[in-house]
Amino acid sequence: MPDGPSLLRAKARWVQAGWSDLPGWQADRLGQWWPALVKGCGKPAAGWHKLCDEARRLGPDWGERVGDDFVRQWVETQLQPWRVTSLDGQATGLLTGYFEPLLEGRRTPDARFAWPLHRPPAGLGQRKPFFSRAELESTPEGRAAIAGREVVWLADPLDVLLIQVQGSGRVRLLDELTPQGAPKVVRLAFAGHNDQPYQSVARWLVDQGAFTLEQASWPAIRTWAQANPARVGEMMAANPRVVFFREEALTDPASGPNGAQGVPLTPGRSIAVDRDSVPLGTPVWLDSTMPQTWVAGGLPPPSPLRRLAMAQDTGGAILGAVRADFFWGWGDEALAQAGRTKQPLAMWVLWPRGSQP
């Protein structure tokens, strides 16, 4: 258990630390982190307004212009590191990963594209919890609640599950073309959920004996679904939570979706946290390892993942003190990295000196 002056939050204890306590601190490319800070300063956390005014004045390209060491000096002058532990002093936790899926869809259904994503139902806030996934699909009341609320139609129920678990995604519309003749790409952003508890379908499949917890991944889930098409509905119903979406124009393809803080996520520099442990808009130093892939002879030695990130999102499964979900970006490589990320984690928050968290 780390020693030193501490501060209590609802689910975490922050223990005062020094810069030398942060493994790898001197090696991080902080100039690459700086734009994520400036984005976060668009909606600063309480206690951050003064520093955020300065960060916005310096501009998002300041880190690139002055270099990593100048950014590090600014951070060390302005901020104080605090080790995050659980209320009972546990200082290690879990890092997982997420990403923004890129899927194919249609505005109108056909024989292949038969799985809808929906806008929030009109009465979503009036009934809590709202209808479960099974009730929305099988009861007259549930079906009536989402009738006519379809945003797009997808070709695979697992794509529906994937984008609902990730919370947002990009959809390439095969029946809506740009003036150049290419499929239009839109973003579906999180717009609410049915207040049902999130249940992992991977855990359900482990309990069914489909594979072990160590083998759980999106490819493993898809392989099982292809071998057991008659049970896909049962698997989907194991997670009663349904996420609803709103469509947004993809004005900047290089920018991530808005997280719970309300600012665009930055690949490799944004994380989801439990806001009862870490306020949104807070810089967080991560000490973990990169996800590993099997090579000839087994797993290679782990390489460190040590960098400064911004707490800019939340997630239904991201609960507890030392817990973070790492945003990898979008596309196939981000999917692969996110699916492999399940690493031990230590974390420190950086907070303005002289300001009470």
Cβ neighbours around 283 below 10 Å, total: 23
CA-to-CA distance for 339 and 98, rounded, in angstroms? Answer: 8
The structure tokens 């071998």 sit at: 227
Statement: residue 155 has pLDDT above 60: yes
pLDDT of 291 over the 90 cut? no
User: Is the model's pLDDT at 241 over the cut of 60?
Assistant: yes
> How much is the pLDDT for 310?
98
Q: ∠ CA 338-117-111 to the nearest 5 degrees?
A: 105
Position 296 scores a pLDDT of 58
pLDDT in tens, 40-86: 999 999 999 999 999 999 999 999 999 999 999 999 999 999 999 99
How far apart, in whole angstroms, are the C-alpha atoms of residue 20 and residue 81?
10
φ and ψ of 331, to 5 deg:
95, 180
Question: Residue 290: is its pLDDT beyond 70?
Answer: yes
Query: What was the pLDDT predicted at 297?
Result: 62
The strand ranges marked E within 140-195 are 150-154, 169-177, 183-193
Mean pLDDT, range 203-208, rounded to an integer = 96
Is the pTM higher than 0.85? The answer reads no
What does the DSSP 8-state code read for residue 27? G
Model confidence band, residue 298 (pLDDT cutoffs 50, 70, 90): low
Q: What percent of the chain has pLDDT over 90?
A: 82
Write down the pLDDT at residue 299. Answer: 62
Between 114-118, 136-140, 214-218, 284-288, the lowest mean confidence (pLDDT) is in 214-218
- Measured at the alpha carbon of residue 235, what is the angle toward residues 238 and 119, in degrees to the nearest 5? 70
pLDDT of 117 higher than 90: yes
Quote the tokens at residue 150: 């379809």
Least reliable range by pLDDT among 189-203, 244-258, 282-296: 282-296
- Asked whether 318 and 311 are in contact (CB, 8 A), the reply is no
Whether the upstream peptide bond of residue 120 has omega within 30° of 0, thus cis, is: no
Tokens of 134: 């099974």
Instruction: With a cut of 80, say whether residue 295 has pLDDT above it.
Output: no
Structural domains of the chain in order of their starting residue, each with its CATH number: 6-97+258-352 (2.40.40.10), 103-249 (2.40.240.50)
User: Counting beta carbons within 10 angstroms of the beta carbon of residue 192, is it exposed (0 to 12), middle (13 to 18) or buried (19 or more)?
Assistant: middle
Distance CA 104, CA 77 (A): 48
| Planar angle of CA 289, 336, 348, nearest 5 degrees | 30
Q: What pLDDT, on a 0 to 100 scale, did the predictor assign at position 85?
A: 97
Look at residue 5 and tell me whether its pLDDT is greater than 90.
no
Tokens representing 44? 């600063």
Contact (Cβ atoms closer than 8 angstroms) between residue 31 and residue 61 = no
- Find out whether 119 and 151 touch, Cβ atoms under 8 Å: yes
Q: What is the mean pLDDT of the chain?
A: 93
Q: What are the two backbone dihedrals, phi and then psi, of residue 173, each rounded to the nearest 5 degrees?
A: -85, 110
pLDDT of residue 294: 58
How far is the C-alpha of 129 from the C-alpha of 193, rounded, in Å? 9
pLDDT for res 293: 66
Q: Is the pLDDT of residue 348 over 90?
A: yes
Cα gap 167→260, rounded to integer Å: 10
pLDDT at 216 over 90: no
The rounded distance, in Å, linking the Cα atoms of 158 and 150 is 17
The percent of the chain in helix, strand and coil, each rounded to the nearest 5, is: 30, 30, 40
Q: How far is CA 131 from CA 22, 193, 316, in A?
A: 46, 10, 17
